[in-house]
């Protein structure tokens, strides 16, 4: 098995019409982009990251051919906030997208709009979770943020009968069987149809797994993993171990099924000759605690690596395969892809362009990735707290609303079992990281206020479960006009 790495657990100017040649992967041409997004896949849960529980042969081979950002963090380890940050390149403090089931307003400039204006065809398949009009509701073209080809739904984790809407037809349809397999088949057909297109394209495939429920699996996959053989992280307390092993068996089965999907997409890119002209991205919106630190299975949001750190592989024409230690944030992905695509970056972006790192520049190990939780919901009560955090190559530092909360040496303590806050030997490190965190917050204009400040600022009404209502017909909520910095 692979050895265990320390892995985190100017305004827009559209190109002139007709200025794009068929993508070839040669310098000066505009590459295609394929993004594969999993839901709740933590960074450590792959073979290439050292997890001996799970079988991910396709991802392991892809990692051998990709840039592996092993300290990638989710800017806010919750589904909707992550997706909004990925689409806009902006922080939740700026967009107001810090809770699940919010509506990403049309005033935000998004990935498909930027690429579409530059001549790209745009296609979206799978889970959306940015519409805020109810999880079953049809999403009309004007609310799709520039995605043209559309076979998607707001949110559905019924993996054996999940729904979607196609094109401009409001008829509810259902994927055939296990939805990830059906979505992959659809994506492969779309790629084959576009292998000779003279326009570059961006294809986004958004899966619902390995997010719970962990036992809605394709036939035979429920027998792949036995709970008693699952090896848990050492930070899982004894009281959580039985439930964590049981849920992990289904979780890893979803991972193996999704690994099959990734392999099929890679094979299709190879078969169609598109590999040489396509940037391929695999990542996830957040992780899964699975009992670590006493958090029940299904827990996200919290600042530990199992929740906050995600896999991120980028395979690109001309990019040397390697492992990168430099932390990278959700907001950095869009400016990086735009630069690699030769598309001008709008001034609204708040992330950093790391395309030079992807293409082989020295690993900038002095970086820090900022992540946050502005308004907790569905949390573990003793950890139900807002926070701001930074991940560096060596450390994770977390500030709570009342002051320093967590400090870990991730190189010496990868499972984050020893909180160094209060240790005199580490006071200088804590102070330096706290200053660095303050600098990052100042850069995005965030004063780190209590959660109610942000709920009031953006005008949100919270349902009983602590976030925005799931129901169709509930008043859709999007960040209102007050967008000033704190």
Q: Active-site positions?
A: 79, 129
Quote the tokens at residue 347.
């001034």
Sign of the Cα torsion 334, 336, 340, 344 reads positive
Of 471, 463, 8, 23, give the one whose Cα is nearest residue 279.
23
Q: What's the gap between Cα 380 and its chain centre?
A: 22
Place of tokens 């039985």: 242
Of 73, 74, 68, give the one whose Cα is nearest residue 49.
68
CA distance 296 to 448: 27
Quote the tokens at residue 394.
């060596």
Residue pair 394/408 in contact by the 8 Å Cβ criterion: no
Angular region, 387: left φ>0, alpha ψ -120 to 50, beta rest: beta
DSSP H helices, 272-321, are: 305-308
* Alpha-carbon dihedral 288, 35, 393, 331, rounded to 10 degrees: -90
Quote the tokens at residue 56.
């991910």
For residue 188, CA distances in Å to 194, 219, 264, 312 come to 10, 22, 8, 21
Beta partners for 203? Answer: 34, 123
Cβ neighbours of 317 (radius 10 Å):
20
Quote the tokens at residue 386.
């807002």
CA distance 159 to 215: 9
For the packed helices 238-271 and 179-193, what is the interaxial angle rounded to 10 degrees? 20
Beta partners for 121? Answer: 201
Quote the tokens at residue 30.
């505009």
């Amino acid at each position: 098995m692979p050895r265990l790495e320390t892995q985190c657990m100017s305004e827009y100017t559209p190109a002139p019409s007709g200025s794009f040649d068929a993508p070839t992967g040669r310098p000066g041409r505009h590459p295609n982009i394929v993004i594969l997004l999993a839901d709740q896949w933590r960074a450590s849960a792959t073979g290439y990251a050292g997890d001996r529980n799970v079988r991910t042969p396709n991802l392991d081979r892809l990692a051998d051919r990709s840039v592996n950002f092993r300290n990638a963090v989710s800017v806010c380890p919750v589904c909707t906030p992550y997706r909004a940050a990925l689409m806009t390149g902006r922080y939740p403090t700026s967009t107001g997208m810090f809770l699940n089931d919010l509506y990403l307003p049309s005033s935000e400039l998004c990935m498909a709009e930027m690429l579409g204006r530059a001549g790209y065809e745009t296609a979206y398949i799978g889970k959306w979770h940015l519409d805020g009009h109810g999880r079953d509701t049809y999403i009309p073209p004007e609310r799709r943020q520039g995605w043209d080809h559309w076979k998607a739904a707001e949110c559905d984790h019924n993996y054996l009968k999940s729904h979607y809407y196609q094109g401009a037809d409001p008829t509810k349809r259902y994927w055939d069987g296990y939805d990830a397999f059906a979505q992959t088949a659809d994506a492969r057909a779309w790629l084959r149809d576009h292998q000779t297109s003279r326009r570059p394209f961006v294809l986004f495939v958004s899966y619902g797994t390995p997010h719970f429920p962990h036992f809605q699996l394709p036939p035979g996959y429920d027998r792949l993993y036995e709970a008693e053989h699952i090896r848990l992280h050492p930070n899982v307390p004894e009281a959580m171990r039985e439930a964590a092993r049981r849920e992990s068996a289904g979780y890893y089965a979803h991972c193996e099924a999704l690994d099959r999907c990734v392999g099929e997409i890679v094979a299709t890119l190879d078969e169609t000759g598109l590999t040489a002209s396509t940037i391929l991205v695999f990542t996830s919106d957040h992780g899964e605690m699975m009992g670590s630190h006493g958090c029940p299975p299904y827990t996200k949001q919290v600042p530990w690596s199992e929740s906050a750190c995600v896999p991120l592989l980028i395979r690109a024409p001309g990019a040397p395969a390697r492992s990168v230690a430099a932390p990278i944030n959700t907001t950095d992905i869009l400016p990086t892809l735009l630069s690699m695509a030769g598309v001008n970056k709008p001034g609204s972006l708040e992330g950093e362009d790391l395309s030079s790192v992807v293409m082989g520049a020295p690993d900038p190990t002095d970086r820090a990735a900022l992540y946050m939780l502005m308004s907790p919901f569905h949390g573990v009560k003793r950890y139900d707290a807002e926070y701001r955090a930074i991940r560096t190559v060596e450390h994770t530092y977390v500030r709570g609303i009342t002051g320093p909360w967590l400090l870990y040496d991730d190189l010496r303590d990868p499972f984050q079992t020893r909180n160094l806050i209060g240790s005199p030997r580490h006071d200088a490190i804590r102070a330096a990281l706290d200053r660095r965190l303050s600098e990052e917050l100042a850069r995005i204009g965030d004063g780190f206020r209590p959660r109610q400040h942000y709920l009031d600022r953006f005008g949100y009404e919270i349902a009983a479960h602590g976030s925005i209502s799931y129901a169709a017909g509930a008043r859709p909520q999007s960040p209102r006009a007050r967008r000033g910095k704190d």
